[in-house]
């Protein structure tokens, strides 16, 4: 028995070593050059060059063809780009890699322009098809539904999901990521019934007449259901990650981010990165009350995980919810009050709510700031932004740091006075500018009203203050399409073609910097990443046309190749 066990152990070790050998990340050639290119360097002088030379994983030279010819030897690999554009790879300033890969495990319930679900009946039919393929008792989950885009303009109900199946727990994750709807078996597994009180910073929505659960859960109340529905196996996590890798690499992303990681996510991504399954760089943001606490106590040692390909970065805190989900925390009421199926329905003075009290937020911020960690705090509504600024200002007063670069994630309704305060305190915003495209019309008509909608994601106002910022997509909230993000920040057009705040438009070059060098600066990686300069890591993307030439068509530009550390990780197939 003992000998058999020893043999099994040695066999497992051999399998792991073989996997490490087979799947190890490829190494770049010793010498490569890229000629006849339109090189947008994103350096401080905004240089446009014609050729680039690499030595191994780093950039050796940037300049004219004559400059680069000096680096061509008999073993140099020469790439003739025939006029295509080469620029730094896109740095994902905020998303939740690899959660976009949920589509291989769950039901995609997005409405146009992302998906094709237009009404609740179609949503229910899609769920029924998944139920038919799922063993009784196993979870069925959907993601991406948007109540404001469904014909009925409401959330699905617990009763409707019960009719889909009473033998499967079902949970639907709202497109905002800040709420969801569950059926009766799922609610029971989470321990929710009509007597369950609302958790702090969340709402278990109940029928105002009967007191019965509607199935809708907001903010902190969604967490137990998320943990149950998304309790993935190792194989599921692998499949999800592989799908997400394909999506990000084909979009030109060379540094991806997980914006709220727990210990299991960190361990899984670390292993897949070392094996080469994830071919680009990863920025891991520990969630404040899980992995973050393990860092504070010393239970998790960052040095065990940090390397050139993966880095534990800012600690993530969430201060409010989602404006399109009516859980963002505003100083002035929502333009149109929440509907009857939502919490606080019909309340004309409804302003949303924070997920933490001011004291709790300040205490968390101070703990991490004192310990020397960079912070990334989610704040959409201007009331939430006020509380974030107050919390960080107090922490910075107690424990001054010369260059904190506290990241204010989304900063969607940031006011001018708040931008001024950010500049003063060393806070850097990251704007979800694609909101102007995906939700612009509804922010204008429903959530914010015209004045606030025109000023959301105020990149131009930040630019005028020399307040450095980044742009992000918050994938899987919307697809990972950095060029659409740039197009949105430049044009600020909604899906109907309406201009959402002409005065907040920025230039193409400013937008490109916000997804390359400025995004790298924001996470203290600008010495190695974000621009095409001598000595930096050779992370870049090759585009089929020049984004500076036609701002209105940037979203139509195609990624031809993606390179990380001098290795081609994506090549577009031509028909």
Partners of 182 in the β-ladder: 171
List the structure tokens of 548. Answer: 């500076």
Strands 179-182, 213-219: parallel, antiparallel or unpaired by DSSP? antiparallel
Strands 406-410, 375-379: parallel, antiparallel or unpaired by DSSP? parallel
Minimal CA–CA distance to 535: which of 183, 191, 61, 160? 61
DSSP assigned state of 493: B
Minimal CA–CA distance to 144: which of 170, 118, 107? 107
Given a cut of 90, is residue 123 above it in pLDDT?
yes
- The alpha carbons of the chain give a radius of gyration, in whole angstroms, of 24
Mean pLDDT across 494-508: 98
Minimal CA–CA distance to 365: which of 419, 337, 404, 416? 404
The continuous run of DSSP H or E covering 304 comes out as: none
> Worst-scoring range by mean pLDDT, 18-32, 97-111, 379-393, 446-460?
18-32
3-class DSSP state for residue 71? coil
List the structure tokens of 331. Answer: 């100083």
Given a cut of 60, is residue 315 above it in pLDDT?
yes
List the structure tokens of 523. Answer: 């996470």
CA 417/CA 265 separation, integer angstroms = 38
Report the pLDDT value the prediction gives residue 23, as an integer from 0 to 100. 57
List the structure tokens of 318. Answer: 């969430």
CA 338/CA 361 separation, integer angstroms = 26
Counted residue by residue, the chain has a size of: 575
CA 98/CA 261 separation, integer angstroms = 11
Mean pLDDT across 278-303: 97
Count Cβ atoms below 10 Å from residue 439 Cβ, excluding itself.
28
Minimal CA–CA distance to 170: which of 110, 236, 225, 227? 225
Report the pLDDT value the prediction gives residue 22, as an integer from 0 to 100. 54
Minimal CA–CA distance to 53: which of 36, 33, 67, 69? 33
CA 404/CA 420 separation, integer angstroms = 16
Report the pLDDT value the prediction gives residue 26, as an integer from 0 to 100. 87
The DSSP string of 317-359 is EE----GGGT-S--SS--SS---TTSTTTT-TT-----SS-HH
- Is 0.95 surpassed by the pTM of this model? no
The continuous run of DSSP H or E covering 14 comes out as: helix 2-23
Query: pLDDT digits over 51-89, tens only?
Result: 999 999 999 999 999 999 999 999 999 999 999 999 999
CA 532/CA 539 separation, integer angstroms = 8
CA 292/CA 227 separation, integer angstroms = 18
Mean pLDDT across 553-562: 98
CA 270/CA 558 separation, integer angstroms = 30
Under 8 Å between Cβ of 195 and 167: no
Minimal CA–CA distance to 318: which of 231, 171, 218, 453? 218
The continuous run of DSSP H or E covering 466 comes out as: none
Report the pLDDT value the prediction gives residue 299, as an integer from 0 to 100. 97
What are the b/e assignments for 508-543, b being 16+ CB within 10 Å? bebbbbbbbbbbbbbbebbeebbbbbeebbbbbbbb
List the structure tokens of 368. Answer: 């991490």
Report the pLDDT value the prediction gives residue 391, as an integer from 0 to 100. 98
Given a cut of 70, is residue 345 above it in pLDDT?
no
Partners of 409 in the β-ladder: 378, 430
Query: pLDDT digits over 364-412, tens only?
Result: 999 999 999 999 999 999 999 999 999 999 999 999 999 999 999 999 9
The residue written with tokens 């990380």 in the block is 564
**Burial (CB count <10 Å: 0-12, 13-18, 19+), residue 48:** middle
Minimal CA–CA distance to 334: which of 429, 433, 453? 453
Task: Give one word for 215, left, alpha or beta, with left for phi > 0 and alpha for psi -120 to 50.
Answer: left
The better pLDDT of the pair 85, 7 is held by 85
Mean pLDDT across 244-270: 97
CA 260/CA 314 separation, integer angstroms = 10
Q: What percent of the chain has a predicted confidence (pLDDT) above 90?
A: 90
Upper half-sphere CA count for residue 455 (Cβ side, 13 Å): 14
Query: pLDDT digits over 469-499, tens only?
Result: 999 999 999 999 999 999 999 999 999 999 9
Given a cut of 70, is residue 3 above it in pLDDT?
no
| Angle at which helices 234-250 and 263-274 cross, to 10° | 60
Under 8 Å between Cβ of 554 and 547: yes
Mean pLDDT across 94-103: 95
What secondary structure, in 3-state letters, does 74-105 show? CCCEEEECCCCEEEECEECCCCECCHHHHHHC
């Amino acid at each position: 028995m003992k000998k058999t066990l020893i043999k099994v152990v040695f066999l497992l070790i051999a399998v792991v070593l073989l996997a490490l050998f087979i799947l190890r990340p490829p190494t770049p050639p010793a010498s490569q050059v890229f000629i006849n290119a339109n090189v947008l360097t994103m350096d401080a002088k905004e240089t446009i060059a014609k050729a680039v030379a690499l030595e191994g994983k780093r950039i050796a030279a940037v300049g004219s063809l004559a400059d680069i010819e000096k680096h061509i030897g008999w073993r140099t690999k020469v790439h003739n780009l025939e006029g295509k554009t080469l620029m730094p790879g896109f740095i994902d300033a905020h998303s939740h890699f690899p959660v976009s890969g949920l589509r291989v495990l769950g039901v995609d319930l997005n409405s146009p322009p992302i998906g094709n679900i237009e009404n609740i009946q179609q949503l229910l039919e899609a769920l029924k098809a998944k139920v038919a393929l799922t063993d009784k008792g196993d979870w069925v989950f959907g993601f991406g539904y948007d109540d404001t885009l469904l014909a009925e303009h409401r959330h699905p109900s617990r009763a409707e999901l019960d009719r889909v199946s009473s033998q499967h727990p079902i949970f639907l994750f709202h497109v905002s990521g800040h709420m969801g709807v569950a059926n009766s078996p799922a609610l029971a597994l989470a321990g929710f019934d009509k007597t369950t009180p609302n958790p702090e910073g969340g709402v278990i929505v109940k029928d105002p007449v009967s007191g019965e659960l509607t199935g809708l859960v907001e903010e902190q109340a969604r967490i137990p259901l998320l943990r149950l529905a998304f309790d993935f196996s190792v194989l599921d996590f692998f499949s999800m990650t592989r799908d997400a890798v394909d999506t990000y690499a084909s979009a030109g992303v060379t540094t991806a981010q997980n914006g709220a990681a727990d210990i299991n996510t960190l361990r899984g991504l670390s292993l897949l990165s070392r094996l080469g399954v994830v071919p680009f760089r990863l920025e891991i943001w520990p969630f404040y009350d899980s992995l973050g606490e393990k860092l504070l106590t010393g239970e998790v040692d960052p040095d065990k995980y940090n390397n050139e390909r993966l880095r534990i970065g800012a600690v993530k805190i969430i201060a409010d919810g989602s404006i399109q989900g009516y859980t963002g925390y505003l100083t002035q009421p929502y333009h149109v009050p929440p509907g009857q199926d939502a919490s606080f329905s019909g309340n004309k003075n409804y302003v949303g709510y924070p997920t933490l009290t001011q004291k709790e937020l300040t205490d968390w911020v101070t703990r991490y700031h004192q310990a020397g960690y960079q912070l990334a705090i989610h704040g959409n509504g201007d009331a939430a932004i006020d509380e974030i600024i107050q919390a960080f200002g107090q922490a910075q007063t107690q424990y001054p740091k010369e260059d904190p670069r506290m990241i204010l994630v989304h900063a969607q309704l940031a006011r001018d006075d708040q931008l001024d305060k950010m500049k003063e305190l060393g806070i850097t915003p990251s704007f979800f500018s694609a909101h102007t495209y995906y939700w612009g019309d509804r922010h204008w008509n429903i959530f914010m009203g015209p004045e606030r909608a025109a000023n959301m994601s105020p990149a131009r106002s930040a630019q005028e203050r020399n307040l450095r910022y980044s742009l992000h997509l918050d994938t899987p909230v919307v697809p990972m399409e950095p060029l659409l993000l740039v197009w949105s920040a430049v044009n600020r057009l909604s899906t109907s073609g309406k201009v959402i705040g002409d005065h907040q438009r920025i230039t193409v070059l400013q937008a490109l910097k916000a997804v390359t060098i400025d995004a790298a600066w924001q996470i203290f990686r600008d010495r190695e990443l974000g621009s095409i300069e001598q000595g930096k890591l050779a992370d870049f993307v090759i585009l089929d046309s020049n984004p500076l030439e036609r701002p209105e068509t940037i979203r139509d530009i195609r990624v031809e190749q993606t390179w990380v550390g001098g290795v081609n990780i994506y090549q577009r197939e031509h028909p």
